[in-house]
Structure 1
Amino acid sequence: MAMATLTISSKNYSSWSLRGWLLCKFVGLDFEEKILSIDDPGTRAELLLLSPSFKVPALTHNDITVWDTLAIAEYLQEVIPGAALLPEDLAARTHCRSVSGEMHSGFANLRSALPMNLKSHFPGFKVWAGAQADIDHMIGIWRTCLDTYGGPYLFGPKLTMADAMFAPVCTRFKTYDVKLDRKCQTYANRILNLPQMIEWTAAALAEPEELEELDVEF
């Protein structure tokens, strides 16, 4: 039996669940999934951002419970030998924490205008100006990281917490047909084609249609 449990919600809609799940997968943690039902009023409120307190993802490991994706990342970095969710170099490590934190707390317009929905595709989707500004800023972050650390991931040859934080955005760009430059599109495709992302996406596509309408991003 797995010694860890990760509590998540919808794999189709929950970008935060995806981030926490990827972090655990990246470090090779053996864990069981506990999926909260969308029928639960508290979970539904959370998915619609009507609840100020996020319950997912939450990781229970060795009788310790940690929630919030950044806290999960830092915990895994501490307790899993060779986790490598942060670069070894101090400057790169600080940069990684900074862009991960920005993804965690920023880009509100992008979140609301382009909610995660793996089952949908909107060719030619028109992005409003506020969300486009967020997209442009995010592309700038990606370009800087890829140019500075040489790829193929944001901080070099190894997947880090930053890649987990931005992975749901890669799905959004695909869903809403967002045009990217060659370097950023190559990065997004690489993330979408990770074995972990393929596994998650297959499970998302198999989910029942429980949430009829998603008003805001979560």
Structure 2
Amino acid sequence: MKLIIGNKAYSSWSLRGWLACRQSGLLFEEMVVPLYDQEWDQRREGDEFAPSSGKVPILWDDDAVVWDSLAIIEYLADKVGREKFWPEDNAARAMARSMAAEMHSSFAPLRREHGMNIRQVYPPKRPSDEVIADLTRIMELWAQARARFGGDGDFLFGTFGAADIMFAPVCTRIVTYSLPVARFATGYVEAVLNHPFMQDWIAAAQEEEWVIEKFEQPATG
């Protein structure tokens, strides 16, 4: 398998796809492509990017190609067993899938005003009302998952899985922008960021030489 991703410092969707590959336990080749450099437009027109219209992440598995992070999670779950990604309990699995899908399709203000930048930590600044609404909803989801299905584990449904993968970039944003979160959420954020896969990603992001100025600014809200 070959996974093509963008800069580890900035690309939140790449992080999700990469975490999914690590969670699968399968061997894969990793190809990091600098976003928005001088060769970006030409590169994304190449055959490897054609199925996704130039977007990352994109996973090649022989002749099979999968783009979109949630699709990558589902593809890998089919290959290695769904228990690697989703809870076994039917009610927990239903909730985990719903949360992953909502993260996939929602929270546009948080994404827009607080882009992922793993290498920075900015002073606290009151978020916009729209971002506060997003954070409130995320806190509600996390609290419900932890209360109903978290048990003694550190993650949303006890053990690390697809829902945590989808929310991992939110955890980085909370730290980067010193965003206000519920007290219970602090422990969850720390658990995600301290997960061995996340530690590997963060270390690699710190070593990157590429800098994209538009992503090196404090919150825009």
Q: TM-score, normalised by structure 2?
A: 0.87
Which residue in the other structure is 1:184 paired with? 185
TM-fit CA distance, 1:42: 3.0
Unmatched 5+ stretches in structure 2 = 45-51
Indicate the SS of the match to 1:213. Answer: helix
Report the AA paired with residue 182 of structure 2.
D
Is the Cα–Cα contact under 8 Å of residues 6 and 59 in structure 1 kept in the other structure?
yes
Query: Which structure: greater helix fraction?
Result: 2
| Within-5 A mapping of 1:7-22 | 7-22=4-19
Report the AA paired with residue 22 of structure 2.
K
Residue 87 (1) aligns with residue 87 (2): yes
Could you report, residue by residue, the CA deviation over 1:158-211 in whole angstroms, capped at 9, with x for unpaired residues?
A: 211100000010000000111322321100000000111111011111111331
| Within-5 A mapping of 1:105-184 | 105-149=105-149, 150=151, 151-156=153-158, 158-184=159-185
Is the Cα–Cα contact under 8 Å of residues 59 and 66 in structure 2 kept in the other structure?
yes
Could you report, residue by residue, the CA deviation over 1:19-52 in whole angstroms, capped at 9, with x for unpaired residues?
A: 000011112121111112332333999xxxxxx9
| Stretch moving more, 30-39 or 112-121 | 30-39
Report the AA paired with residue 65 of structure 2.
T
TM-fit CA distance, 1:83: 5.0
Q: TM-score, normalised by structure 1?
A: 0.88
Is the Cα–Cα contact under 8 Å of residues 76 and 83 in structure 1 kept in the other structure?
no
Could you report, residue by residue, the CA deviation over 1:86-107 in whole angstroms, capped at 9, with x for unpaired residues?
A: 1112221111111000000100
Indicate the SS of the match to 2:180. Answer: coil
Which residue in the other structure is 2:40 paired with? 41
Unmatched 5+ stretches in structure 1 = 46-51
Report the AA paired with residue 41 of structure 2.
G
Give the whole-Å Cα distance in 1 for the aligned partners of 2:43 and 2:11.
Answer: 11
Name the % identity.
42
Is the Cα–Cα contact under 8 Å of residues 110 and 131 in structure 2 kept in the other structure?
yes
**1:95–1:213 CA distance, 2 compared to 1 (3 A):** same
Could you report, residue by residue, the CA deviation over 1:83-133 in whole angstroms, capped at 9, with x for unpaired residues?
A: 520111222111111100000010001111111001111122221111111
Which residue in the other structure is 1:204 paired with? 205
Give the whole-Å Cα distance in 2 for the aligned partners of 1:62 and 1:83.
Answer: 24
Is the Cα–Cα contact under 8 Å of residues 110 and 134 in structure 2 kept in the other structure?
yes
TM-fit CA distance, 1:63: 2.7
**1:64–1:174 CA distance, 2 compared to 1 (3 A):** same
| Stretch moving more, 182-191 or 85-94 | 85-94
Report the AA paired with residue 160 of structure 1.
G
Report the AA paired with residue 183 of structure 2.
R
Give the whole-Å Cα distance in 2 for the aligned partners of 1:140 and 1:174.
Answer: 19
